[in-house]
Amino acid sequence: MINVRDVTYTYMTGTPFEKTALKNISFDAAEGEVLAIAGHTGSGKSTLIQIVAGLIDLTSGSVEIDGLPVADKKIRRLVGIVFQYPEQQLFEETVERDIAFAPKNFGLSDDEISARVNEAMRQVGLDASLKNLSPFELSGGQRRRAAIAGILAMKPKYLILDEPTAGLDPKAKKNLLREIFGDVKKSGVTIILVSHNMDDIARFADRVIVLAQGEKIFDGRPRELFAREEILRRAGLEPPPITQLMRRLGVDEIVLSLDEAERILQKN
Amino acid sequence: MDALIRVENLRHVYKTASGDKLALDGVNLSIDAGEFVAIIGTNGSGKSTLAKHFNALLLPTSGKVFVDGLDTSDEENLWHVRENVGMVFQNPDSEIVAAIVEDDVAFGLENLGIAPDKIRERVDLALDAVNMSGYKVFAPSKLSGGQKQRIAIAGVVAMQTKVIVLDEPTAMLDPQGRREILSLVKRLHAQGKTIIYITHFMEEAAEAQRVFVMERGKILRVGTPHEIFTNVAEMKRLGFDVPVAAELAERLRGKFKLPKNILTADELAEALHR
């Protein structure tokens, strides 16, 4: 369980450039949950996930993960964070060595390392035959998955993904989401998904937190969020295209998928 | 009338450590002055390689690219080609070079050796065109992604090129930034610019007059957004999305009698009302 209590974060405290990036944020993330964090650029999303991952120190408030304060080094093995465009951080000579990097640092046996590499590759849908290639010989979508596999090989209990599909073509995007919310999720990991793609949030998130100017302005189910136009407007977000389309067609219900839309229209 | 951009049997081969890679495999196309075209295709289909041929950042391995009648592979034409075609890329952070906005927009003009008062005039006009006049002396690092991308576009507008090529200009932006860029591009088109717009977002491509679909270094389909995106089954098979109204219309055809070419929410609403 992740418990975030009254977290405030201020940049450059005591200088003329002082700026509060997060104000009194509180929330919990339950085990096995998919929690989305939405908000436009500059809303505080990135700062928040870096605090949860223990990468930057909070100014006031507390973050606990499984009862441990976030400053405790032990949490580094519990939380895996995948930054935007993670493939830019691939650096090893082969895909296998790149994915093995974290387990190796954990001091695991060679057998355990290779088992973890195989499992992580399977989870993200990368064929084992790609193991010995240079990361640069992979396609854009494959590189992205290799980078995510490198984090999964740590076997984190909590996985934070910052815009995991940004810049991918529709097909690569669909495949990656299918793997993350299929095999990866089934392994029991808790997922925090940072995204401004409302379609992805509608389809995969159990719950969504919306940030605007460093404040939490919504915490609830995606379906509830898309009924709250004033919240969306304040956050600079829009309902998913299918939700907007159904509204345009005069349907009052909040519709989140094509399947739902089809069912509703066929009834009438 | 002669096309503003004409591509004939274009092939491009990249030399890599693990051998030759064929990125473009016999591309033919022509784009008229004042057109707004979109290019879609999966990662690695050759879209960006093609885009870089339009202003001679890349030259054909074989075949020809003509801009305003000028052969891009003739070195004497290089400056003329680049005066005609401006490029905007995906990541605004890697395009911005100066410490304040107006210097950044002026950068290309300074390199052309234009007089300072003329430069000032063109920078002001360009910033006005992208609605960023109020940010002249801002540091680009203080701007949002959408604003940075508008500054990058202003740099191209200031060059007064006939053609603006945008290679996934919204890929790194949030929804607000994407809206800003798309409406700016439509405005520039309305003012007479020829626009070549590369994107993974099908709703953006649907705003163009013509859509080119690329796969494996070839142009597979060319047509109006209605012709391309209402062919839902084929687009899905090729691994593309289609705008959601077209997809829903396709699913409803079993139950309702709907016309073939529904692309927008308004068109679907009208058809269902009947």
With CA atoms as reference, the chain B residue closest to A163 would be B172
CATH fold, domain B5-242, is Rossmann fold (3.40.50)
Our CA-based measurement puts residue B217 at a distance from the nearest CA of chain A, in whole angstroms, of 15
Asked if B266 has any chain A CB less than 8 Å from its own CB, the reply is yes
Pull the structure tokens for residue A93: 């000579």
Span B50-74, average pLDDT: 96
Residue B206 has pLDDT above 60, yes or no: yes
Q: Which amino acid is at B195?
A: I
Q: Could you tell me which of A40, A39, A38, A68 has the C-alpha nearest to residue A52?
A: A68
Which of B107, B149, B158 shows the shortest CA–CA distance to B128?
B158
The mean per-residue pLDDT over the stretch B128-134 comes to 91
Task: Tell me how close the Cα of A195 comes to any Cα of chain B, in angstroms.
Answer: 9
pTM of the model: 0.88
What pLDDT sits at residue B239? 87
Compute the distance between CA of residue B197 and CA of residue B178 in angstroms, rounded to an integer. 13
pLDDT tens digits, B135-154: 999 998 888 888 899 999 99
Residues B255-267 have a mean pLDDT of 91
Report residues of chain A scoring pLDDT below 50: none
Q: Shortest Cα distance from B227 to chain A (angstroms)?
A: 20
CA distance B249 to B232: 9
Residue ranges of B 177-216 with Cβ closer than 8 A to chain A? 177, 200, 202-203
Contact check, Cβ <8 Å, B43/A238: no
Buried b (16+ CB within 10 A) or exposed e, B64-88: ebbbbebebbeeebeebbbbbbbbb
Does ipTM exceed 0.85? no
Angle, CA A95 vertex, CA A139 and CA B41 arms, to 5°: 5
Using an 8 Å CB-CB cutoff, list residues of chain A that contact chain B: 40-42, 137, 139-141, 166-172, 196, 198, 236-238, 241-242, 244-245, 248-250, 258, 261-262, 265-266
Non-local (6+) Cβ contacts of B257 within 8 A are: none
Residues of chain B contacting A171 with CB distance shorter than 8 Å: 42, 239-240
What is the distance in angstroms between the Cα of B152 and the nearest Cα belonging to chain A? 18
**A–B: how many Cβ contacts below 8 A?**
84
Averaged pLDDT for residues B75-97: 89
Long-range contact list for B15-24, CB < 8 A, 24+ apart? B18/A137, B22/B217, B23/B49, B23/B217, B24/B49, B24/B50, B24/B53, B24/B217
Chain B positions in Cβ-Cβ contact with residue A137 (cut-off 8 Å): 18
B33 φ, ψ (degrees, to nearest 5): -60, 135
Residue numbers in B near A41 (CB within 8 A): 144-146, 173-174, 176-177
Q: Please tell me which of the candidates A140, A242, A249 has its beta carbon nearest to residue B43.
A: A140
Q: Which of A253-257, B15-19, B49-53 is least confident? A: B15-19
Task: State mean pLDDT over B18-24.
Answer: 88
Check CB contact under 8 Å for A169 and B42: yes
Which pLDDT band, with edges at 50, 70 and 90, does B176 fall under?
confident
pLDDT digit string, tens, across residues A210-260: 999 999 999 999 999 999 999 999 998 999 999 999 999 999 999 999 999
Tell whether the model's pLDDT for residue B1 goes beyond 60: no
The CA distance from A71 to A74, in Å, is 9
The residue ranges of every structural domain in chain A are 238-268
What proportion of chain A, given as a percentage, has pLDDT over 90?
Answer: 71
8 Å CB contact between B219 and B212: yes
Question: Does B265 contact A245 at a Cβ distance shorter than 8 Å?
Answer: yes
